[in-house]
Structure 1
Amino acid sequence: MLYLDQSAEDVEDALRSMMEGGDYELALQMAIAAEARYKDKADITLLREEAADRARAAVQFLDPFRFVTYTEMAKKEHLSTPN
Structure 2
Amino acid sequence: MALIITDECINCDVCEPECPNEAIYQGDSIYEIDPSRCTECVGHFDEPQCQQVCPVDCIPLDPAHMETEDQLMDKYEKLTTLS
TM-score by length of 2: 0.32
Bigger helix fraction: 1
Query: Which structure carries more strand by proportion?
Result: 2
TM-score, normalising length: structure 1: 0.32
Q: Per chain length, whose mean CA-contact separation is higher, i.e. which structure has more relative contact order (CA < 8 Å, sep 6+)?
A: 2
Pair member with larger Rg: 1
